[in-house]
Amino acid sequence: MGALDALYNNPVSPILAMESDLPYVRDLTMFFYCLSILNNNNSGANFLSTFVLTFVRAFGAIGIALPLVLGGLPGDVLKDLDHNCLIVFAAMFWNLIGVHAHPFSGVFA
Q: What is the pLDDT of residues 57-99, one digit of tens each?
A: 888 777 777 777 777 776 666 777 888 889 999 998 888 887 6
Looking at residue 40, its pLDDT comes to 83
CB 82 within 8 A of CB 25: no
Average pLDDT over residues 6-19: 75
Residue-range domain boundaries for the chain: 11-95
Q: What is the DSSP string of 9-46?
A: T-TTHHHHTT---STTHHHHHHHHHHHHHHHHS---SS
Looking at residue 76, its pLDDT comes to 67
Q: Whole-prediction pTM value? A: 0.70
Rounded to 10 degrees, the C-alpha dihedral 15/75/93/39 comes to 70
